[in-house]
Each structure stands twice: as structure tokens, then as C-alpha cells.
Chains A and B, each alone.
Chain A
Amino acid sequence: MQDFAASFFEAFRLVISLDPDLLEVVWLSMRVSLSAVVMAALVGFPVGAFLAVARFPGRGLLVVTISALMGLPPVVVGLVVYMLLSSAGVLGPLQLLYTPTAMIIAQTILVTPIVAALARQTLEDLHDEYRDQLVLYGLGNLAQLKTLLWEGRYSLLTTLLAGFGRAVAEVGAVIIVGGNINHVTRVMTTTIALETSKGNLALALGLGFILVTIAFAVNALVFMSRAAAVRHAYA
């Protein structure tokens, strides 16, 4: 019990003193997860928008598939990306395995279905609501989509934050493709797993505090973005 208490104090000390090792891990986590979210947005938003307004044979199957992919097991994604990036894999020559780039790829695969599926739902609901009115303005598909994206901006921001939450808390995929290499691919979740197994609870707890704080911050951002939306006449 005393050990746990000491670990808590040590964890606080590490966080408050801005321990360089801890900051390095936090920074890499943020860099990898934010990059993955940006990549997921670049792919997921257009896919979601297309599925929201387009009608074609097989669309329903595609919508169901993308929704199902929201629950992709991270370790399976890690395994697939590992096989692609390993020296025997089709992308082996790129030498990306055990690099932050590999981790970004894995997290992008995890987050993209979330962004695409939630964006599709948001934009489809808006499209159902606004379709006749936008047609009456004589707007083409592209102009309609632009309006829908703007009208759904706060919901889409929430989508991105949900994707970021998934990415930053994920451990299975990044530990497989990143290898948890010190000063290279060690992120918060993999470090917590490693340090806990080593008995170094202080660092694990310190990172745990930060991870939970980030989760709170993300939720606070969602809440604040909604409040900002109301302030800016969006309701």
C-alpha cells in the first residue's frame, strides 16, 4: 500500500516537473494520433459525404460494412499492417515497420471507419432535412455538399474528437507495428503497459493521469464546441 502511495506521489512529481522522458512519450502519442485523425478526416469525410448523398446499387452493404469496421479490433489491424510492412510484405521495401509512420498508418485504419460512418450519418440526416430547400436554391451536388458540411461542422468536429479519443487510447495496433522502442515508437499506452509489467508504477501512473486528462479534455472540447455553436447562432 505504501508503495502505491509513493508511486502516486512520484507520478505527480513527474507530471509537475515536466519530466523529459514523459514529455517525449506524450508528444509522440499526440503526434501519431493527431496525424492519424487528420489522415482519417481526409479519407473519411469525402467517403461519408459521398455515401450520404449518393444512391447506387450496393450502397447499403457499404454503409453496413463501414459501420461494422468501427469496431475493428486494434490487434487485428496491427497484425495486418505488420504483415504489409514487414520485409516479406508488399510494403516491406518502404522500411516503415517500427516507425511512427507505421503507427500512424495503423491508427488511420482504425479511425477512418469511425469518421466515415459518423460523418455519413450526420450528413445524411442533414441532407434529408435540407434536400428540398437546397434544390429550390438551384444548387448542384457539390454546392449542396459544401452547405451540408458547413451546417454539420460542429457535429463533424465531434466526430473527429471521437476518432482522436479512439486513437490516443489505443494500444494493440501501435505496440505491434511500432514495437514500443524507447525514444522511437514509445507512446503513452504502450509505455503504461511496459512500465506496469516492469513494476515502475510511477511512470505508468503519471502517463495514466495524462491520458485520462486528455480524455477529459476531449470531452470538454466537445461540450465547449457545442456551447460555441449556440453562441454563433448554431442550434
Chain B
Amino acid sequence: MRENLLSAVQRQAMPVLPVTGADLKVSRKGRVLLDVDNIEIAGHGTTVIVGPNGAGKSLLLNLLAGLRQPDRGNVRWNGTPPSRSRYCRFGMVLQHAVLLRRSVKANVEYALRAVGHSRNEARRRAEASLGEAGMERLAHASARVLSGGERQRLALVRALATHPDLVFLDEPTSSLDPASVMAIETMVQDASVKGMRAVMVAHDLAQAKRVADEIILMHHGRIVERAATDDFFQRPQSETAEAFIAGRLLI
């Protein structure tokens, strides 16, 4: 952990936005999984990536986050290749939260320590973050025995506690109850209002309407349409988008 300690000033000097992907291609056994000519994530707000199963949404997210390498093309964070030292500017919530075998608070503290905060500062910020999310009563519980909704909320608290420039959310609310979905959406919207950029993969079109400032529709590994949320739903530009909105688009 020590090798990763960076001062807040150093971290501020390492912006990651805009995140861009050019000519991204990923294939497996002759099947094209992703084929994206160009994508740029910049500015503010929340982008929701929608599309049927197997459209390449999560793969695109992983490529942009630097977790996977494309077969062809490149990803750039503020014009330069992804680098380990700038991961502290990202947050990510996976579909199934990966939580350390520690208490709820210790999970948040770990993330804060990883981005360079002192032990005391990490403790203070973790308590504050859990308090803001209404999770302070769970602070000393084992993170691994939380309910599905609590786990995802904790994963989001942990991702947001470091005040990232950009947070990737890979179907963070799949199979959660409505109250947990609402809590997570509220947290994302609050962080977005404070200036954090968010990119979220979602299946639920109603959720996309509630959360997104813009929508990216993917199908067969390609970006079919990218538009402001209202435009996407009211004036879809492609037959694919129309079919998807109407619930007629299968993989």
C-alpha cells in the first residue's frame, strides 16, 4: 500500500479525463465482441450504456478502465496510455461487489489508504462517507455478510469516498430491491451534481431515464446510437434504437 501513497496535490496533477477509446476491437474465437471506432468520456454528468445481453457494454467499460487490453486500438486517459498511478482518479463498482474480508468501515478505509490518505484521515473520511450514505450503524459489521443491496451501497460508498474524477458502474443495481436501487441512484446523482463524471451500464430503461444525462446504445459490440436522454427516448435515430426502446431487440 505504501508504494501507492501519493499526496492529494500529486493526484490532482494527474487528471484522467477525457477518457478516449479509438478503433477498439476485441474478438474471441473469430467472433467480434467489440468494435468501437471512437468514444470519448469527458465533461460532467452521467452516461448510461444500454443494450441487450452480450452487446459489449461491460467489455467497453473494462477497456476504458484499463482492466482489459483490446486486440486492436487504444485507450487514452487525458491523452496518455492508462497507468497504475492514475487509478486513484477512478472509482468502479462491479456487478457483484468485491469486498474485502474486513468490516464495512475497514473496506472504505482501505480504498482511502490506497489513494494516499493517512490512517487517521482515512478513518475520518470513511466514517463521514458511511454517515452520508446512512450506513454508519453497519460500520463494524463484516462486509461479507451484508445483504445484496447493502453490499452494492458499500461498494459505491467505497468508490465515491476517494472523490474520483470518473466512476464506472457495471450494472450496480441488477437484482436489487427497489429501495436499494433508489438509494444507489440517489448516491450517483448526488455525486454527479458535485462534479463527478459517471458511466453506468444498465439494463433497465426506466432507470436509464431517471439517471442518465446521455445514453449510449450498443448492439453486437458496436455503438449504435449516442444521444441526450430525452432525444434518445423521444427521437431515436435508428431502427435498432427504436426496437430496443420498444423491447423488441434481442442479441
Contact = CB atoms under 8 A, between A and B. Distances in A.
A233 B3 contact: no
B235 interface: no
A234 B142 contact: yes
Contacts of A151: 100-101
A137 B115 CA distance: 7
Contacts of A129: 98
A233 B1 contact: no
Contacts of A58: none
B250 to A, nearest CB: 29
A233 B102 contact: yes
Contacts of A136: 65, 67, 87, 90-92
Given A132-B67, A136-B67, A233 B94 contact: no
B15 to A, nearest CB: 15
Given A138-B85, A233-B106, A132 B94 contact: yes
A133 B99 CA distance: 9
B220 interface: no
B4 A138 contact: yes
B44 interface: no
Interface residues of B, number: 33
A130 B103 CA distance: 16
B157 interface: no
Interface string B44-83: 0000000000000000000001110000000000000000
A136 B100 CA distance: 14
A199 interface: no
A235 B103 CA distance: 10
A138 B162 CA distance: 13
A234 B102 contact: yes
B1 A146 contact: yes
